[in-house]
């Protein structure tokens, strides 16, 4: 079959990546979707069981730092576009071992940019969409929102590595004319999320009657984005965003970590048939994370006004869908936890 686009999705077996791959495979049968993933601890092909047999889907296990592998994949599949999600992404892990984050997030991104530039040259009609995080902007006070023009001020090795990758992507646009698009998102939640992250960790620990660890006083604030809404935003930006531009993607809601954990406890008590307040007894306060940013909040006005995107669910709706998925897919959680 002649496909109109041959899209390489990096990190496509991960949490956000698997939702993007699934959406593209199902919604665009005239596109060939090539999923490149190194299947490190957070990459899991179980996430894509429902599309692995699709005619327009291919999987390649490779490291984005491997220039020879990238060259082969670009040439073999005639890659026309890239959606780059592959990254080391857990802040705590970056504090313990920053070099992995430098290699994957910085060096890997530059290898990918080099591969795209080598194959595409100055040809028009390509897109290199780099997916990044709001953490590159640093920490907000009690007021204000991150805008696309907000100065970068990363505080952790993770956010520093992502900020560096963002700068390289922009540099390749300005220096070489590589047709890039960028997006920076707030905290994602939803199905297929690796259990070390806040929401799946809390759901799992509530089910198992284990402590619910909350950093510091639990007053750090995050803006939460349902992962399927993020996938739709990436789809929208990839197809309709302006080349050379970046777009902030947010869920348009802010919760303190403690408020979120209490809400999860109430929902879980109801769904598990426990007395109200039972799960909240598991909340345990632990020493705050080093360099823990106080507040993140995204201004997604540009994405809404230019491209017409907005979240499809409220946080409460998305959280209920997420809890129901984890309760119905405990086998997935147990396999991941091994």
Give rounded-to-5 percent helix, strand, coil for the chain. 45, 20, 35
- The residue assigned the tokens 């005239």 is 30
Catalytic residue among 37, 88, 134, 299: 134
pLDDT (0 to 100) of residue 302: 97
Whole-angstrom distance, CA of residue 189 vs CA of residue 204: 14
* Per-residue confidence (pLDDT) for residue 334, from 0 to 100: 76
**Tell me, what's the pLDDT at 118?**
97
CA 249 from chain centre, in angstroms, equals 11
Query: Where in the chain are the domains?
Result: 5-186+226-250+297-312
User: Looking at 60, 81, 135, 229, which residue is catalytic?
Assistant: 135
pLDDT at 140: 81
- What's the CA gap between 311 and 335, in Å, rounded? 31
3-state class (DSSP) for residue 179: coil
For residue 246, the surrounding DSSP H or E stretch is strand 246-249
Instruction: State residue 82 phi and psi, 5-degree precision.
Output: -130, 135
For residues 89 and 213, what is the distance between their CA atoms, to the nearest angstrom? Answer: 20
Cβ(13)–Cβ(43) under 8 Å?
Answer: yes
Cα dihedral angle (216, 217, 222, 228), rounded to 10 degrees? 80
Class of domain 5-186+226-250+297-312 (CATH, top level): alpha beta
Is the sign of the CA dihedral 113, 117, 122, 127 positive or negative? Answer: negative
276 flagged as catalytic: no
Dihedral (CA of 169, 175, 176, 181) sign? positive
pLDDT at 291: 64
Active-site choice (158, 172, 247, 326) = 158
What pLDDT shows up at residue 78?
Answer: 97
Helix pair angle (315-328, 330-337), 10° resolution: 80
Which pLDDT tens digits describe the chain residue by residue (338 residues)?
A: 899 999 999 999 999 999 999 999 999 999 999 999 999 877 889 899 999 999 999 999 999 999 999 999 999 999 999 999 999 877 778 888 899 999 999 999 999 999 999 999 988 899 999 999 999 998 887 778 899 999 999 988 999 999 999 999 999 999 999 999 999 999 899 999 877 778 988 999 999 999 999 988 888 888 899 999 999 999 999 999 999 999 999 987 888 999 999 999 999 999 999 999 999 999 898 887 676 667 888 899 999 999 999 999 999 999 999 999 999 988 887 776 65
- Separation between Cα atoms, residue 225 and residue 134, nearest integer Å: 12
Give me the sign of the Cα torsion angle 89, 94, 100, 104.
Answer: positive
Integer angstrom CA distances of residue 227 from 173, 235, 246, 318: 28, 12, 19, 9
CA 135 vs CA 15, 43, 157, 173: distances in Å: 18, 22, 11, 22
Query: Comparing C-alpha atoms, which of 164, 155, 112, 115 is closest to residue 135?
Result: 155
Among this protein's residues, is 135 annotated catalytic?
yes
Identify the pLDDT of residue 129.
98
Task: Output DSSP code: residue 157.
Answer: H
In eight-state DSSP terms, residue 230 is H
């Amino acid at each position: 079959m002649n496909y109109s686009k041959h899209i390489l999705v990096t990190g496509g077996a991960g949490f956000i990546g698997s939702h993007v791959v699934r959406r593209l495979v199902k919604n665009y049968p005239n596109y060939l979707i090539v999923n490149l993933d190194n299947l490190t601890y957070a990459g899991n092909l179980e996430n894509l069981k429902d599309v692995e047999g699709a005619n327009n889907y291919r999987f390649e296990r490779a490291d984005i730092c491997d220039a020879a592998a990238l060259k082969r994949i670009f040439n073999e599949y005639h890659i026309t576009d890239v959606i780059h999600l592959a990254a080391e992404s857990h802040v705590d892990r970056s504090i313990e071992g920053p070099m992995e984050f430098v290699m994957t997030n910085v060096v890997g991104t530059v290898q990918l940019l080099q591969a795209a530039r080598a194959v595409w040259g100055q040809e028009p009609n390509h897109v290199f969409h780099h997916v990044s995080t709001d953490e590159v902007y640093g920490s907000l006070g009690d007021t204000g929102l991150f805008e696309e023009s907000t100065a970068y001020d990363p505080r952790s090795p993770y956010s520093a590595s992502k900020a560096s990758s963002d700068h390289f992507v922009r540099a390749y646009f300005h220096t070489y004319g590589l047709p890039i698009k960028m997006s920076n998102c707030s905290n994602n939640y939803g199905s297929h999320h690796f259990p070390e992250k806040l929401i799946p960790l809390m759901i799992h620990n509530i089910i198992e009657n284990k402590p619910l660890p909350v950093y510091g006083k639990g007053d750090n604030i995050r803006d939460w984005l349902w992962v399927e809404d993020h996938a739709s935003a990436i789809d929208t930006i990839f197809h309709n965003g302006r080349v050379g531009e970046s777009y902030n993607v947010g869920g348009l809601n802010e919760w303190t970590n403690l408020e979120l954990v209490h809400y999860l406890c109430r929902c879980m008590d109801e769904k598990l048939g426990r007395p109200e307040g039972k799960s909240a007894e598991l909340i345990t306060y632990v020493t705050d994370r080093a360099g823990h940013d106080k507040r993140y909040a995204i201004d997604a006005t540009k994405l809404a006004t230019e491209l017409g995107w907005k979240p499809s669910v409220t946080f409460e709706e998305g959280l209920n869908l997420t809890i129901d998925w984890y309760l119905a897919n405990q086998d997935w959680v147990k396999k991941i936890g091994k």
